[in-house]
Amino acid sequence: MSKTVKLRVFKRFERLWHWSQMALIFTLIFTGFGVYGVHDLISFSDAVTIHTGAALILLLIWAFATFWLFTTGEWRHYIPTRKNFIKVARYYAFGIFKGEHHPYIKTYRRKHNPLQALTYLLVKTVIFPAIWISGIAYLLISFGLGDFLNGIDIGWIAMIHIIAAFAIVMFVIAHVYLLTTGHSFVEHVKPMITGYDDVDLTDEELAYLRANEPNTIKE
């Protein structure tokens, strides 16, 4: 037997990390387009300075977030699974346009659906490392500290950085778009503000939480 309850699935640090990351990523996108010459809303030098500062702050936040994920065991939510993967993929490909109900319900041990878990894992292990490694390399070369990178064409470093940046832009666009589907925008965003969301709990999980972590349940 199982029961759907309001459970605090996003802890305070996770919510702070999410909104700080969002603000910094939008800052990086805006200044990045300025550096790339897409707009001239701010000067090139200001764009470079703000872009560099925001990137370093975000790198620090990601370092803390990575430490938090592994010390709390939250990393387990990002491990992909084949269970219900086809159903979820079909929903986003077709069902969502027919008004069908989402086939996945959050559980105590898995708050991300299979497609979310796979997407977040690829972003965190492929796209983010690509943009950070290329960005740091470009920064070191700019400050004359990249002698050990002499064998690598700076054009390739810049290209990797730009490709990874556009991949992040596409991820952000898709992320925001999905917030407008299914439930209302507010209902999608609310859990990342309050921390609480509907979660499917077994009787054993509910009893355990009531006995050991009663503050996580909103009844």
pLDDT reported for residue 16: 93
Within a domain: 56 = no
| 40 in a structural domain | no
Q: What is the pTM of this model?
A: 0.85
Question: Domain range for residue 99?
Answer: 2-10+75-218
Residue 37: other Cβ atoms inside 10 A: 9
- Sequential DSSP letters for 62-93: HHHHHHHHHHHTGGGGGS--STTHHHHHHHHH
CA distances from 42 to 36, 37, 48, 92 (A): 12, 10, 10, 38
Residue 207 falls within a domain, yes or no?
A: yes
Would you say residue 91 lies in a domain? Answer: yes
Distance separating alpha carbons of residues 56 and 200, to the nearest angstrom: 38
In a domain, 68, yes or no: no
Whether 61 maps to a domain, the answer reads no
Q: How many domains does the chain have?
A: 1
In a domain, 24, yes or no: no
Q: Give the per-residue pLDDT at 169.
A: 95
In the prediction, which pLDDT does 1 show? 63
Which pLDDT does position 25 carry in this prediction? 95
Cβ atoms < 10 Å from Cβ of 111:
19
For residue 85, the one-letter residue type is: F
Question: Which helix (H) or strand (E) covers residue 53, if one does?
Answer: helix 44-72
Q: Is 3 helix (H, G, I), strand (E, B) or coil?
A: strand
Alpha-carbon distance values, 65 to 13, 57, 127, 171, 205 (Å): 8, 12, 16, 19, 26
Q: Indicate whether 126 belongs to any domain.
A: yes
Tokens of 68: 């938090």
User: What's the confidence (pLDDT) of residue 139?
Assistant: 83
Averaged pLDDT, groups of 10, the chain, 219 residues long: 82 92 96 92 94 94 91 87 86 80 78 88 92 89 71 84 94 87 75 88 82 81
pLDDT of residue 75: 87
